[in-house]
Structure 1
């Protein structure tokens, strides 16, 4: 893709995303937030995907031209996964599950380090300190999963010898060490050969056990919107400072049924991106309809809640008829 050279520093920072069809908008707004909060940095953003539409490419081209930052699209070949299709659990996962496991190999020879980010996060500050993290002998830097229940269940379930478990939504990766340790291959085999509760994240914890430098939670501050909306809370409720906020769980800021102020924050950022004017995603699945109805009830919007619950019931009935 063409781009206008940036006037920022001479050493670009490489940031990679792995996306499927539903996450291009989220990624584009995430990139916008990174650029706006790090105006003195020159970036090269790498987008890894199995499918890329012409519309996606046009918007990404407009984004790089607007900011004078480079965006490289890497369209993956599904043949890269052929060696793992014979394993029993391979078919249980969508192709998108495998993308981030393929990124370091795809950037070998392009850069020594890459910051991998999930597409469902927003940047609210300077990320310089994260980029300068000394990895020592480790392969990657990441943030521990702050939920004690996850750590207490996944460490023994996965047989992690070092007793730690990280969230894979933000990873600063030493590419050569990753490749030398066959991290991708080990993770792909783990993901394909056994049932894993958290899919590729579990697989990466297996492959990187003892080789992760743990960094401050502000670099991957998880905000599980369902938890807050289930309590009827609509305002951003944060404790310590944060730079990267990661919206985990089924509710995202670009969902119209996200009845939280982060939706407005997202829309403000989106308005300054090539996705400006794109309507938010409406609830479609039975699960989404049920959640929306529940959130409305928590906010005492009873009539609306009942209406959406009826839509949920109709969706469930259609599902049962199809499976019959």
Structure 2
């Protein structure tokens, strides 16, 4: 059985919320996410921000997930109803990706983006990481000519490019961030991209520090149309605020974590931005999250130390050491 068939058979359920009358229109904007329970909340905020800033676009969302709590499923349904937008929810048998490399901050759901071109019979789909919010119109991106390339993506930071190109032994390649991917579905499938990235990951799993992203960079050399960084601002600067379309909260802590306002990533512009859009969702008014793994505990401890909260910092650093010993 081909890997494509295994993937298609791994879709155990497909539910459509608020089926729109424009589903078959040629000018629909198809947007996809790959999530687990931990990222459902921020994905809801991402969808709300897109709907809020693109009221004239015909939006259709596609969400791929493993298992989700019933509470989150109902909130996704409510979100679709609140914005009168079509949301497709696909549940996957995660065993199809067993054996691929994962890490604390990189669960199996990072690979779900690979599936979107396999299940959608449309010309292109825009994949977004769930921790991205939209601050403007998508019109220019949706009508962009990819010049024959398989994807459109934004170059990563300079230090990341140097480090990852060296690790992957890539020459004359501009390393891109996979948080925003404009996918040409026909070309993706013609190139057999899915099989190529899965084969690379399975062959040398220890090679990939950022598994899904590294594998895409390795396979798609010379097949990328590079987008302006306004479509994937990783660390927004003051001079970029007005031009930014997608703000990507890629680093930790996240804006829904208790450590957010103590971190260097938080500034006057970004401080309340995520929570402002979250108020438009069924997840509104949920409490900020405490650290849930040893990496987040360490980060929170350092934030507390830096802000002069020494005793609290010591307590969380001890929790970090205990959690790391158990995890290792």
TM-score using structure 1 length:
0.85
Aligned equivalents of 2:130 and 2:327: distance in 1? 33
1:188 aligns with 2:198: yes
Identify which of 102, 122, 125 aligns with 2:133: 122
Give the alignment of 1:1-324 within 5 angstroms: 1-3=16-18, 5=20, 10=25, 11-81=27-97, 85=99, 90=101, 94-107=107-120, 109=121, 111-145=122-156, 147-194=157-204, 195=206, 196-223=208-235, 237-240=237-240, 241-259=243-261, 260=266, 262-299=270-307, 302=308, 304-317=309-322, 319-320=324-325, 322=326
SS across alignment from 2:239:
coil
Q: Is the CA contact 2:134–2:247 (under 8 Å) kept in the aligned structure 1?
A: yes
Residues 254 and 210 of structure 1, relative CA distance in 2, 3 Å threshold: same
Unaligned runs of 5+ in 1: 224-235
- Name whichever of 273-282 and 6-15 sits farther off: 6-15
CA apart distance, 1:60: 0.8
Q: Is the CA contact 1:290–1:309 (under 8 Å) kept in the aligned structure 2?
A: no
Residues 319 and 174 of structure 1, relative CA distance in 2, 3 Å threshold: closer
- Name whichever of 121-130 and 91-100 sits farther off: 91-100
SS across alignment from 1:239:
helix
Aligned equivalents of 1:78 and 1:285: distance in 2? 22
CA apart distance, 1:256: 1.6
Unaligned runs of 5+ in 2: 1-15
Deviation string 1:41-74 (CA, Å, 9 cap, x unpaired) is 1210000112222212111110111111000001
Aligned equivalents of 1:53 and 1:248: distance in 2? 24
SS across alignment from 1:114:
strand
RMSD between superposed Cα atoms in Å: 2.4
- Name whichever of 31-40 and 266-275 sits farther off: 266-275
